[in-house]
Structure 1
Amino acid sequence: MSILVIGSTGTVGSLVVQGLAKQGAQVKAMVRRTGTLSLPAGVDGVVADLGDVNSLRLAMSGVRTLFLLNALAPDEVTQSLQALSVAREAGIQRIVYLSVIHADLYTDVPHFTGKHTVERMIESLDLPATILRPAYFMQNDAAIQSVIEGYGVFPMPIGAKGCAMVDVRDIADIAVAELLRRDRSAEPLPRLTLEVAGNEVFTGEAAAAVWAQALNREIRYGGDDVQAFEAQLTAQHVPAWMAYDLRLMMSRIQQLGQIPAAGATRTLEKILGRPLRTYQAFVAERVKAA
């Protein structure tokens, strides 16, 4: 029996595949077409699509444990609910689902509310699953490094409430630990929800200050204009529906922040057996590599 990773080509999913392979797990990585992913030795690629139920049934044949990560898509809810339903039909009783922090609070943000709907399915059907709820990815800021260095501006409009940013490598390591814990258990384990966030909360101003220190120059925060943020995404050929979704997300981050409950990070560090990575270390790593 194997572990199936859905979302294996993405930033988090590819790291999950690598982490499982290093631990000697039997892994199947789901891809949409052959040749799209260089897989670690011993990992089997399986071609399937979240919109194709028959291909999902074939992909889940012989699978004991499932990692479900669904990227932003207009039909994300349908895809995820179908994937979990097919998993139930296949008798899969060991699941790790990647959701998002405060999925229940960002009610006007489509991909947050979609993930909360999936969480509700897991809860109402009492599926034996770990729900991972990550906060803002540190790696989001890799995409804006050229703007930061070229214009002296931190352009992400995350506001003043603050985000407990988390490194995607920590997210993947926690996912691997939970997948192996469930996979190696003789019986299905109780449902668990984990907020996956960093130890330090960053505002827009604070994030800019970290880059300023690493670059040894002035970096200012670009401000809270989410309309300009949406327009910039559209100019970069991001689909209009996605640009608007991300604009709504930024508005909620400004209003509510992304801060985990007390004790959440201690739980994560216990799972990892080490401290969580810091934003300062991430930025220093990016600057050194540039």
Structure 2
Amino acid sequence: MNDKAQQTDEDQGGAHPVLVTGATGRIGRAVVDELLAAGVPVRALTRDPAAADLPAGVEVVAGDFADPASLDPALRGVRSVFLLWTAPPATAGAVIERIAAYTRRIVFLSSPHRTPHPFFQQPNPMADLHAAIERLIAASGLDSTILRPGMFASNVRLWWEATINAGEPVRWPYVDVGTAPIDERDLAAVAARTLYEDGHTGGDYVLTGPEALTHAEQVRVIGDVIGRPVPFEELTPDEFRRATEGVWPRPVVDMLLDAWGASEGHPAYVTTTVADVLGVPARTFREWATDQWKMPL
């Protein structure tokens, strides 16, 4: 530990909090909940503490990645930092330097861009940003754990929920391409464990759900959960581009189509990392859908 971090620890004494960035978003909030459930003190970084709406017991502190000096109050005395990058890349280097001045441990939410599977190897600006931040973390000397989640199960709510709940068919490309969707609660549980438990320094964890499912199989599972069949119609890539025109950003559409297209004929990439870290199986897609699918009132 550097002198500044040591000084802070000695001054504070007692239990040191974990700092969670991105704490008001889906993943960050889930990490907060997991830490609280484990009895770990939590400090949350947000640009607007008054609007944070976080559980009682969470220390909410203002700070902005765009102004690295503003992070000092949030970093003072922390035991570790969960980094979910939520800003343009220009200040990333200064933010990592600031973190390294106060603590030794960082857990970074990245992406599986180093995973040797065609789904994860297509051009992706977000993966490029993640790779750059990983290099900064490595150069900083921080004790790091890198989390690399695959496809989130919750994506299908964004994609299909309104259509399915309206009783319409799901119209989608690459019907037979499989992924292994991860429940974000499992991702959050792994993140929390690596933030307060020793033994994860140097960990490079690719996180997926426990099973491979094609798009058509995922739709069938949702139909089982809601108690009625959901029709599925396959679109060509060009038909999908037309269907999403003006609704989704074109770069996102192209990125997904490239990833799915490159994955045709390849088994989905599945890991046991969730079970390895937590000691319990990862939730299946059916378990996620049973708990999380929201039907209209």
TM-score normalised by the chain length of structure 1: 0.82
2:188 matched to 1:172? Answer: yes
Displacement of 1:57: 2.5
| DSSP-derived class of the 2:20 partner | strand
- For residues 54 and 121 of structure 1, do their structure 2 counterparts lie closer, same or farther at Cα, with a shift above 3 Å needed? closer
2:292 matched to 1:277? Answer: no
Corresponding residue for residue 40 of structure 2: 25
Q: 2:216 aligns with which of 205, 209, 215?
A: 205
Which runs of no fewer than 5 residues in structure 1 stay unpaired?
235-242
The equivalences for 1:221-260 within 5 A come to 221-225=233-237, 226-228=240-242, 230-234=244-248, 243-257=249-263, 259-260=268-269
- For residues 46 and 159 of structure 1, do their structure 2 counterparts lie closer, same or farther at Cα, with a shift above 3 Å needed? farther
Identity of aligned residues (%): 27
Q: In angstroms, what is the RMSD of aligned CA positions?
A: 2.6
2:100 matched to 1:84? Answer: no
2-side partners of 1:48 and 1:103: how far apart? Answer: 31
Q: 1:64 aligns with which of 62, 69, 79?
A: 79
2:104 matched to 1:93? Answer: yes
Number of residue pairs the alignment of both structures matches: 270
- For residues 46 and 288 of structure 1, do their structure 2 counterparts lie closer, same or farther at Cα, with a shift above 3 Å needed? closer
1-side partners of 2:289 and 2:274: how far apart? Answer: 22
2-side partners of 1:277 and 1:96: how far apart? Answer: 22
Displacement of 1:111: 0.9
1-side partners of 2:230 and 2:275: how far apart? Answer: 33
2-side partners of 1:94 and 1:138: how far apart? Answer: 28
CA contact (8 A) 1:131 1:193 kept: yes
| DSSP-derived class of the 2:142 partner | coil
CA contact (8 A) 2:179 2:269 kept: no
CA contact (8 A) 1:96 1:132 kept: yes
2-side partners of 1:283 and 1:223: how far apart? Answer: 24
2-side partners of 1:232 and 1:155: how far apart? Answer: 17
- For residues 135 and 121 of structure 1, do their structure 2 counterparts lie closer, same or farther at Cα, with a shift above 3 Å needed? same
2-side partners of 1:134 and 1:151: how far apart? Answer: 31
Post-superposition Cα deviations, 1:167-215, rounded to whole Å, max 9, x if no partner, equal: 0010001111111114xx7xxx631100010111122222222223334
Post-superposition Cα deviations, 1:2-48, rounded to whole Å, max 9, x if no partner, equal: 21101100101001111112222121101111221222222100011
| Amino acid corresponding to residue 288 of structure 2 in structure 1 | F
Corresponding residue for residue 240 of structure 1: none
1-side partners of 2:113 and 2:243: how far apart? Answer: 22
Post-superposition Cα deviations, 1:127-158, rounded to whole Å, max 9, x if no partner, equal: 31110000111111222311123253335656
Post-superposition Cα deviations, 1:86-125, rounded to whole Å, max 9, x if no partner, equal: 11122x1111100112357545211121112222333344
| Amino acid corresponding to residue 34 of structure 1 in structure 2 | P
- For residues 108 and 99 of structure 1, do their structure 2 counterparts lie closer, same or farther at Cα, with a shift above 3 Å needed? same
1-side partners of 2:130 and 2:268: how far apart? Answer: 18
Post-superposition Cα deviations, 1:50-96, rounded to whole Å, max 9, x if no partner, equal: 1111112232122221000124x5x2x33444322211122x11111
CA contact (8 A) 1:50 1:79 kept: yes
CA contact (8 A) 1:103 1:112 kept: no
| DSSP-derived class of the 2:210 partner | coil
CA contact (8 A) 2:83 2:106 kept: yes
Post-superposition Cα deviations, 1:219-270, rounded to whole Å, max 9, x if no partner, equal: 2045353523652534xxxxxxxx2342233023213449446xx31x3213
- For residues 260 and 102 of structure 1, do their structure 2 counterparts lie closer, same or farther at Cα, with a shift above 3 Å needed? farther
CA contact (8 A) 2:68 2:91 kept: no
TM-score normalised by the chain length of structure 2: 0.80
Which runs of no fewer than 5 residues in structure 2 stay unpaired?
1-15
Corresponding residue for residue 7 of structure 2: none
| Amino acid corresponding to residue 22 of structure 1 in structure 2 | A
2-side partners of 1:229 and 1:250: how far apart? Answer: 14
